[in-house]
Structure 1
Amino acid sequence: MYGLLMRLVIALIHTSLVRGTFSRVSLKHTHFLRNYTSLMMEKETLCEPLKKSMSEWQFSELKLLQLPLDEIKENYVRRNVQNAVFSEVSPTPLREGLKLVAYSKDALVNILDMDPSITETQEFVEFIAGARVLDSSIPLAHRYGGHQFGVWAMQLGDGRAHLLGEYINRKGEHWELQLKGSGMTPYSRSGDGRAVLRSSIREFLCSEAMYYLGIPTSRAAAVVVSRDPVERDQFYNGFPQQERAAIVLRLAPSWFRFGSLEILARQHEIETLRQLVDYIIQEHYPYIEGKNKYLRLFAEVAHKTVDLAVMWQCVGFTHGVLNTDNMSLLNVTIDYGPFGFVEAYHPRFVPNSSDGEGRYCYSKQIEVVLWNLEKLVQALSPLLEEVDRGELLEIYYSLEGYANFKLSQGFRRKLGLTKDMPGDMQLVDKLLRLMELTETDFTMVFRQLGEVSLEELVDPEATKGLWALEKLQSHKDFEDFVMAYSMRITAETELTETIRRENMARVNPRYVLRNWMAQSAIARAEKDDFSEVALLLHVLSNPYVRQEEAERNGYASPPPGWAKTIRVSCSS
């Protein structure tokens, strides 16, 4: 109503301006009213009812069609697609015994404008299963390349994923919807295009967990499982087993990655490369303009990518497969495969049993990210003049110092400190060394350090039951650390005990998605009991606050003994 009224007022003012009956002063009123109209129209949009059926919901205009498409429309595997960014290809639907495993209410309501009741409809389940392709959808598979484990792997691409379309929600946000595990594409290589239930649950839960930890990430809206069989050799040891196929509906502002540019540069498709980079700037970095736009794009992506890696380090998250094709150009965490959160602290923690050399271990993540950014430099270089390439390298060489600064800043916050002072990283290193020697849990030691006063840290009675601190206290050098920590806190005259502990509670989670927790939920889900998936989603949606149900389930307790036997590989 307000929007209609204000549009009428604006129309009248515009007519008066054309006839010359308004003064210059009135132009200010016009500007104000137009802004007001825009705000009221946005308010009206936000008040629109959420969609309760897929027949009410539709995709927005697919701007990605501006980019070159594969001329071949048939869906068969090809090792060398050329002069294309996407191939048009439809999903292969799951068929047998479809069941909705879980959904994210937040993703549905606040991203997709869907009412949660939509999950009770068969058409929603079929939509996730790839069996209901909307008329407004033009499914695409993205062509990209990448360096995998340090080696150029040539053409890769969406081998089991279909981008269904773009959606602009009520808040004006742009999101791309993608099914993962939805069948073969021209980029499937030797794969079957499917994903299994265990990996789909892990991706669903970790995507949402990372979001609530405050870390930029793709989102997961829902998971559907079927009785359709797929065969997987989970640990590549010659013993394949039959598993059930599943699909995740995942969301991101964009799925473009470093490898999106690498394949075009490597194949000398420079005009297509320029077209893609210009599109990315126009759609996702519109504030970047001018002749130095490619330099500015790299600087923006590079610094935010380092920021992202530092966030991973600070919560103990280890990606597991930091290939260049898994690095987002929108600086969000994507492609959750064999990830893990550090438990008993070890800097060379490797969550991926396929990573025998530990290339992607916890302590090397920032180093690897910098290596990957060097490959992005190489991919952008063909678009630059010689003098600009030198400046591009200068930006790149400055990143290591930037990463060290941000890492120090992040861990300083984990200790409740607010000011940058000399020796801060030495204090952090002292603590991490103690944690390594005592095999103390990464998440809980930082959490529990903020749950007691400095005086109580060296009092075994005061810390009784705080299992991570008890373990840390067993080392002879623990009191030396506490003394150094106390002196550092004293150096910040405005940092009271209350403020320190409040600071730590805000940045140190009590609950993270430990592999044993995910495995427990997966074991139940394999028997069609999805209750623990739902429980974990609920708990991980509020990771910084103590929750009784989580405590009863041991989510903040020492990991069970069997947790040490869990192995996660690239198989999914």
Structure 2
Amino acid sequence: MESLRSKKYKKEFVDTFPGDETGDLTPRQTPGMLYSKALPTPVGRVTLLAWSDDLAAKLGIQKPADQKELDILGGNHVTDTMYPYAACYAGHQFGGWAGQLGDGRAITLGEWETPDDTSWELQLKGAGPTPYSRRADGRAVLRSSVREYLMSEAMHYLGVPTTRALSLVATGDPVLRDMFYNGNAAFEAGAIVMRAAPSFLRFGNFEILNARKETDNLRQLVDWTISRYYPHIKGEDKIVTFFKEVVERTASLVVEWQRVGFVHGVMNTDNMSILGLTIDYGPYSFLDDYDPDFTPNTTDLPGRRYAFGKQPSIAYWNLGCLAAALLPLVEKDQLLPALETYKEVYWQKYYAMMGNKLGLDRVSRLDTDLITQFEKTLSSVKPDMAIFFQLLIDLPLYMGSAQEVAEHFKESFYDELSQEQHQQLYTLIESYLDRLNKNTITRKVSQELMRKTNPRFILRNYLLHQAIEELEKGETALFEKLQKAIREPYSDKYDEFFAKRPEWATQKAGCSMLSCSS
């Protein structure tokens, strides 16, 4: 284990590509540059609120032992071998080209070499302005930082590819925010998350180089990305192979989101990882009631572009944007077939995942019809997704009436079922039980498969909201309990949280809908 203070950091990205070395934080365009030097802006006092022992052990990082080391987590101390910078990238936001964006409130400190000889970037989110902050202050508030810290780690324990969070600190400084962009700005407590990933490269890092016609920089970035993160890819057609693997990873990622009921909320191309990781936790949510049209992002209304049920198609659209960015290097007739593999890969992985959720021994063509029936029925009945699938695990192998079925699933309903919904659910369960009886695996094996696939604990927005409210009052009990619960999402150890979203949280700000405000 090494300390943050004594570690010799690497800076291969900085050493490889052209960047703005001036350290000038004035917001501006930076043509020809892939990054800009950006020192964190000091804060009042750095206080540790949370530390991921699991991630620290993986990376070989000692927990800070004194204030000087804590100051690194809040941007108040930069070691001699760190080279803090903000990356330059662009993106399509809500379907429209946004031009240059970049790390507006994230500053990468350096690359940490781990005991197994891999390298992870350590990045502070909320450490002050960068040249890409535009009209913002580069800060983050406790509210959004708690959400990022907890959900980054929660997704890891759920088995979903994700960036990680090492620490959460309070800054001692107030930050002015208009939470819903409605003219009601107020001061909130400031905070900073140190997040970590093998790379924070996004689709947008490639898009901006194509948009600026910086073909040499684009080729260099693609070659470097392949050699560093896809070293198994060789040969003359390596760019097409690389893109095809990004397609596969992205499809796999979205399947995992659909499995656990996660809604990202802002699937812009600048929020899409080139490694197929979940990145940038803003106005996200898990599904409470099963609604394919649900979006947690107020900015996404009324079109609901990033709703739960649209995530697979949006990922395909975003991959199309990445393909377009690679056109200066590869012919369209080579990239298009690679892009089109997304549909086959996605559906193959999706049906296999749903087969696991339902405890099936395999998924045949007939089973896809059953899965579609599940989707349609759940969309109509709108039960709590997590609770419904937990109740499905212990479903009796014989259900005699629609009333009996409804009684079994009653705990998952938010509203009284109509007669038609009763019948829809009964018909579905009849079909499902008929299929279970054809399984070649035992009931016990089927149930174990379901328990490993269907989370029992999910980090619901109302729980996060309660924990944040308590933290703002100096109370830590719920926050600490959630840190433990996220580590065992498939266990019944934390069944005090095994409950539907309460009625009071349905319309409460921060519990159902959120904005992109930090």
TM-score normalised to structure 1 length = 0.85
Bigger drift between 228-237 and 166-175 goes to 166-175
5+ residue gaps in structure 2? none
User: Shift in Å at residue 299 of structure 1?
Assistant: 0.3
| Offset from partner CA, 1:206-229 (integer Å, 9 cap, x none) | 100000000110000110112311
C-alpha deviation, 1:72, in angstroms: 4.9
Q: Secondary structure at the match of 1:418?
A: coil
SS at match of 2:171: strand
SS at match of 1:428: helix
Per the alignment, residue 4 of structure 1 pairs with none
> What is aligned with 2:52?
104
Distance 2:83 2:21 in 1: 15
Matches within 5 A, 1:392-411: 392-411=335-354
Q: CA deviation at 1:54?
A: 3.9
Q: Is residue 89–residue 162 contact of structure 1 (8 Å, CA) maintained in 2? A: yes
Q: Does 1:237 align with 2:179?
A: no
For 1:475, what is the secondary structure of its paired residue?
A: helix
State the distance in 1 between where 2:58 and 2:20 align.
Answer: 37
Distance 1:235 1:408 in 2: 38
> Match of 2:377?
434
Q: Report the CA distance between 1:429 and its aligned residue.
A: 2.5
Q: Deviations over 1:361-406 (max 9, x none)?
A: 000001100000000011111012x4xx202111112322322222
For the structure 1 residues 418 and 172, does the alpha-carbon distance in structure 2 shift closer, same or farther, using more than 3 Å as the test? Answer: farther
Q: Secondary structure at the match of 1:506?
A: helix
C-alpha distance in 2 between matches for 1:485 and 1:377: 40
Are residue 79 (structure 1) and residue 28 (structure 2) matched?
yes
Deviations 1:163-195 (Å, cap 9, x if unpaired)?
011111112222110000001111111110001
CA distance 1:275–1:462, shift in 2 (3 Å)? closer
Q: Deviations over 1:301-346 (max 9, x none)?
A: 0111011011101111010000000000011100000000011111
Secondary structure of 2:224 counterpart: helix
Aligned with 1:502: secondary structure? helix
1:529 aligns with 2:475: yes
Which of 397, 407, 417 is the equivalent residue of 2:360? 417
Alignment of 1:298-377 (within 5 A): 298-356=243-301, 357-377=303-323
Please state how far the C-alpha of 1:59 moved relative to its aligned partner: 3.8
Question: What is the alpha-carbon distance in structure 2 between the residues aligned to residue 559 and residue 539 of structure 1?
Answer: 17
Measure the CA separation in 1 of the matches of 2:209 and 2:310: 28
Letter in structure 2 aligned against 1:139:
P
SS in 2 for 1:344: coil
Q: Does 1:390 align with 2:329?
A: no
Q: CA deviation at 1:422?
A: 1.6
AA partner of residue 360 (structure 1):
Y
Aligned equivalent of 1:467 = 411
Q: Which amino acid aligns with 2:10?
A: E
CA distance in 2, matches of 1:171, 1:325: 30
2:154 is the alignment partner of 1:209: yes
Q: Distance in 2 between matches of 1:199 and 1:471?
A: 31
Task: Provide the C-alpha distance between the structure 1 equivalents of 2:400 and 2:9, rounded to a whole number of angstroms.
Answer: 56
- The change in CA–CA distance for 1:141 and 1:467 in structure 2 (over 3 A counts) is same
**Equivalent residue for 1:560?**
502
- Give distance in 1, aligned partners of 2:238 and 2:404: 58
Cα displacement (A) at 1:514:
0.6
Q: Is the 8 A contact 2:92 2:98 kept in 1?
A: yes
Give the deviation of 1:456 after TM superposition.
Answer: 5.9
In structure 2, the residue matched to 1:30 is none
- Partner letter of residue 135 of structure 1? D
| 1:59–1:166 contact (8 Å) kept in structure 2 | no
Bigger CA radius of gyration: 1
Decide whether aligned partners of structure 1 residues 457 and 263 sit closer, same or farther in structure 2, where only a CA change above 3 A counts: farther
Contact 2:44 2:171 in 1 (8 A): yes
Q: What is residue 19 of structure 2 aligned with on the other side?
A: 70
Count residues in correspondence: 509
2:101 counterpart (140, 156, 171): 156
Instruction: Report the residue type matching 1:195 in the other structure.
Output: A
More displaced stretch, 138-147 vs 390-399:
390-399
Contact 2:90–2:102 (CA<8 Å) still a contact in 1? yes
Percent identity between the two aligned chains = 38
The Cα RMSD (Å) is 2.0
Q: Which deviations, in whole Å up to 9, do the C-alpha atoms of 1:507-537 show, x marking residues without a partner? A: 0010111100110110011112233222111
Q: Distance in 2 between matches of 1:454 and 1:471?
A: 26
Is the 8 Å Cα contact of residues 147 and 153 (structure 1) preserved in structure 2?
Answer: yes
What code does the residue aligned with 2:264 have? Answer: H
Q: Check conservation: 2:210, 2:328, Cα contact below 8 A.
A: yes
Contact 1:463/1:470, CA 8 A, preserved across alignment: no
Q: Provide closer, same or farther for how the CA distance between residues 153 and 469 of structure 1 changes in structure 2, counting only shifts above 3 A.
A: closer
Post-superposition Cα deviations, 1:474-498, rounded to whole Å, max 9, x if no partner, equal 7123222122112222333x22211
Structure-2 change in CA distance of 1:288 and 1:464 (3 Å)? closer
Offset of residue 201 of structure 1: 0.3
TM-score when normalising by structure 2 = 0.94
Amino acid in the other structure paired with 2:173: D
> What residue in structure 1 maps to residue 37 of structure 2?
88
- Within-5 A mapping of 1:155-304: 155-304=100-249
SS of match in other structure, 1:260: helix
Alpha-carbon distance between aligned partners in 2 of 1:380 and 1:347, rounded to the nearest angstrom: 32
8 Å CA contact 1:59–1:165 kept in 2: the answer is no
Please name the residue that 1:452 is paired with: 395
Quick check: 1:487 aligned with 2:434? yes
Paired residues of 2:91 and 2:207 also in contact (CA < 8 A):
yes
SS in 2 for 1:455: coil
Instruction: Say whether the 8 Å CA contact 1:141–1:162 is kept in structure 2.
Output: yes
d(CA) in 1 for partners of 2:123, 2:289: 35
Question: 1:464 offset after TM fit, Å?
Answer: 5.8
- After superposing the two structures, state which structure 1 stretch, 80-89 or 461-470, moved more: 461-470
Checking the alignment, whether the CA contact within 8 Å between 2:48 and 2:168 is kept in structure 1 is yes
